[in-house]
């Protein structure tokens, strides 16, 4: 089961955060937002199908986020959690930890923003259009 988000990069995308990565509906990004990969997302967790959300609440679920931009692709996998709400109307956040809030789309991610391919990050920093596919199995 998939959810797809369309967003774009921004000149302040640095992808240096060590424990999270994020895609936001916000139309701006400051240099402090070092976990943010893309802005102006056309969807947020609150828009996800209820069946998708239910599947993400299985602690045995594997959740994979694939980010594609300008010919570059990176995927990161993590797991579901019974406490996932997926109700935030602004941001989708992947976490390497087990922390859960209304923005969390996966816990136990293999890596955070700093682990994303640097060519992909450079394309996003140049403002490339991004497709973010979230898959739950």
We report the CATH number of the domain holding residue 11 as 2.60.120.630
| DSSP letter assigned to residue 18 | S
Give me the mean pLDDT over the 36-62 stretch: 98
Q: From residue 48, how far is each of 19, 70, 93, 124 by CA, in Å?
A: 24, 25, 14, 24
Query: Contact at 8 Å (CB) between 11 and 125?
Result: yes
pLDDT of residue 121: 98
Question: 11 is in which domain, residue-wise?
Answer: 2-136
Average pLDDT, the chain: 98
pLDDT of residue 125: 98
Number of folded domains that form the chain: 1
**pTM here?**
0.97
């Amino acid at each position: 089961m998939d959810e797809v988000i369309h967003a774009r990069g921004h000149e302040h995308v640095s992808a240096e955060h060590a424990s999270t990565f994020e895609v936001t509906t916000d139309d701006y990004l400051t240099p402090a937002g070092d976990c943010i990969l893309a802005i102006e997302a056309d969807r947020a967790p609150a828009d996800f199908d209820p069946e998708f959300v239910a599947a993400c609440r299985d602690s045995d679920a594997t959740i994979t986020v694939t980010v594609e931009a300008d010919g570059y692709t990176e995927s990161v996998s993590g797991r579901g959690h019974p406490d996932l709400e997926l109700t935030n109307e602004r941001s989708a956040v992947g976490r390497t930890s087990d922390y859960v809030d209304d923005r969390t789309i996966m816990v136990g991610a293999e890596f955070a923003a700093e682990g994303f391919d640097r060519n992909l990050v450079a394309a996003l920093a140049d403002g490339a259009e991004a497709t973010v596919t979230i898959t739950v199995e």
